[in-house]
Amino acid sequence: MDSPQISPLIIFFASIITSNMVLSNFLGMCSFISVSNEFKTASGLGKAVTLVMIFTTVINFAVYRFIVVPLELEYLRYVVFIIVIAASVQIIELAMDRFLPELHIKLGIFLPLITVNCAILGISLFMVIRDYNFIQTLLFGAGSGLGWWLAISTLAAIREKTNKSKIPQGLVGPGLTFIIIGLMALAFMGFSGIFTIQ
Amino acid sequence: MEILKTILSVTGIATVLTVLIIIAEKFLNNYGECKIDINEGEKELAVDGGSSLLTSLAANKIFIPSACGGKATCGMCKVKVVNGAGPLLPTEEPYLSPEERAAGVRLSCQVKIKNDIKISVPEELFNIREYQATITSVSEMTHDIIEYRFEFDDGEDISFKAGQYMQIESKPYGKVKEKATRAYSISSVPSDNKAFELIIRRVPGGLCTTYMHEHAKVGDKMRVTGPYGDFYTRDDSDQYIFMAGGSGLAPIKSIVMDIVEKGLDKKMIFFFGAVTKKDLYHTDFFREIEEKYPDFKYIPALSNPAPEDNWEGETGLVTDVMKRYVESGNGRHAYLCGSPGMINACIKVLTSIDFKESLIYYDKF
């Protein structure tokens, strides 16, 4: 695939819908399932993921271009990306607590959780594999974050409904959640005629 | 060469990031000196902002009870904040009732000090300190209960009310890699202030009780904090009913010894519930007090005595036995210490014979 040809806008919308991180790549499943019980919390986590995705992809893009590639350390990118993510989440948290205390109260408890979210690492790795330029990377990060937010909010909203309905005993909990996720993935794939990036 | 390059680059990147975090911490997490005002100016502490209320207080030797070490999982480190704590965090919500929220109660491990803060803590907490203590005796009471005596190092002493408890910290052992902090009632008398005694029953699978029963021995040093708790006798009655099961005997023993020693004029009756005779302990001790002190009565009750016990005392559930002796509340206080099941059953019996619930004090474990 000749990535530089793809318009950044297509990448942006595709990563929200057709190439949604969680529904098409099944990345970031752990928090996707465990924190989707309540709409409010799920949406909070979604926002935090979006924020961290944008920041870390940009930082990782710079680190990759200016440190990893010149030093011919491509095989180390997993290690490098993960420590960069961990460190930047720490700094983002400190800064947020200082300058945006209200936002920190809303998102603060989710930030450390996100450090180990595989979707975040996934974004950085895809950006390398697909050879995106800076603008593409930025919109890819933003789109994937928004896509993850959309997915977890939708799942949480559906689960809030199903929590109140009568469900066969054996399906209560993870069983039904997986079925819902499967159906959601199918629905999101329905858009794949419009645009696709992978 | 390649290996060296790899090691150096990873170390280099990690170092740069660490330095960045340290710099960020220094500039972003620096809230300057903040004042903690405790109980309307009774005590004022100056601390560096940026860390939690719990750790800042502990650094100033004020120990708020906390079993989880500041992870917001035990909900014990509640402190009333008058102002300066910022809004309630989602991590605290599960542990606070609507009344507590309205009163400004917070989990001190989650409150970060960013400015001057006013809090109010119960007077007793000022007494709480951290000690280093050495086990000086280990005495087996029954097949699963042991009494330990701890003496403070460096000749320190403690001031506590009979009925309060201490927290001890177990060390890693065998497959258990973590330390565990657990609370046990003091069974010795407050006047014995260079030491304290604990009665610990073995709980199958319990982290700290297994450590104590299998690994702790005379001469071991342990980190302890205390005294904690409000399970002590209130003075506005001269008739006390005590009831305990298993290791719940500990605080009652301390209370009875304290009253006898001070020569207070109190009528006391102590019901101790056990299954068979081999679960009874300190019997001679209480019989001796009974002889010397006519106002004290000790009534052990066995729920299921073995044939070889030749048991002539009271039989049946300790709550039923109590019903036979106590007809009405009549201004008496009741102090109960034991399993939640026993205490709930006992509260039911007491309220059914006209005992005011506000005069029933208990320590469930």
- What does the longest C-alpha to C-alpha distance in chain B come to? 89
Distance of alpha carbon A128 from alpha carbon B185, whole angstroms: 61
CA–CA min distance A91, chain B (Å): 6
**pLDDT computed for residue A4 by the predictor:** 55
Query: CB contact, 8 Å: B29 with chain A?
Result: yes
Please give the residue range of the domain that contains residue A39. 3-190
- The mean of the pLDDT values for chain B is 88
A137 part of a folded domain: yes
In a domain, A27, yes or no: yes
User: How confident is the model over B146-160, as pLDDT tens digits?
Assistant: 999 999 998 888 889
Nearest residue of chain A to residue B17 (CA atoms) = A87
Average pLDDT rounded to a whole number, residues B258-284:
92
Per the listing, tokens 């009780």 go with B209
Contact A27, A144 (CB under 8 A): no
Residue A114 lies in a domain: yes
A residues 45..74 contacting B (CB < 8 A): 63, 67, 71, 73
For residues B296 and B194, give the distance between their C-alpha atoms in angstroms, rounded to a whole number: 27
Domains, chain B, ordered by start: 33-123 (3.10.20.30), 128-228 (2.40.30.10), 239-364 (3.40.50.80)
Q: Which two tokens stand for residue B47?
A: 């601390």
pLDDT (average), residues B282-297: 92
Tell me what pLDDT residue A8 has. 86
- The parts of chain A modelled with pLDDT lower than 50 are 1-2
Residues 6+ apart with CB under 8 A from B26: none
Residue of B1, B6, B17 to mutate when probing chain A, most A C-beta within 10 A: B17
Q: Do A91 and B24 touch (CB under 8 A)?
A: yes
Task: Kindly identify which residue of chain A lies nearest to residue B72, measuring between CA atoms.
Answer: A109
In a domain, A198, yes or no: no
The verdict on residue A195 lying in a domain is: no
- Looking at the structure of chain A, the number of domains it has is 1
Strand partners, B239: B267
What pLDDT is recorded for position A38?
A: 82
Q: How far apart are CA B277 and CA B293, in angstroms?
A: 24
Q: What is the pLDDT of residue B185?
A: 93
Task: Indicate the SS3 state at residue B119.
Answer: strand
As a three-state string, the secondary structure of chain A is: CCHHHCCHHHHHHHHHCCCCHHHHCCCCHHHHHHCCCCHHHHHHHHHHHHHHHHHHHHHHHHHHHHHHCCCCCHHHHHHHHHHHHHHHHHHHHHHHHHHCHHHHHHHHHHHHHHCCCHHHHHHHHHHHHCCCCHHHHHHHHHHHHHHHHHHHHHHHHHHHHHHCCCCCHHHCCHHHHHHHHHHHHHHHHHHHHCCCCC
Structural domain includes residue A196: no
| Contact call for B29 and A94, based on CB within 8 A | yes
Residue A26 included in any domain = yes
Among B28, B87, B114, select the one facing A94 at the smallest CB separation: B28
Interface contact A80, partner B, CB < 8 A: yes
Structure tokens at A36: 């989707």
Mean pLDDT, range B73-84, rounded to an integer: 87
Contact between A87 and B90 using a beta-carbon 8 Å cutoff: no
Task: Tell me the average pLDDT across B161-190.
Answer: 89
Q: What is the pLDDT of residues B119-133, one digit of tens each?
A: 988 877 778 888 999
By DSSP bridging, strand B165-170 and strand B180-185 are antiparallel
pTM value?
0.56
Residues B126/B102, Cβ–Cβ less than 8 Å: no
Burial class (CB in 10 A: 0-12, 13-18, 19+), B324: exposed
**What ipTM was estimated for this complex?**
0.74
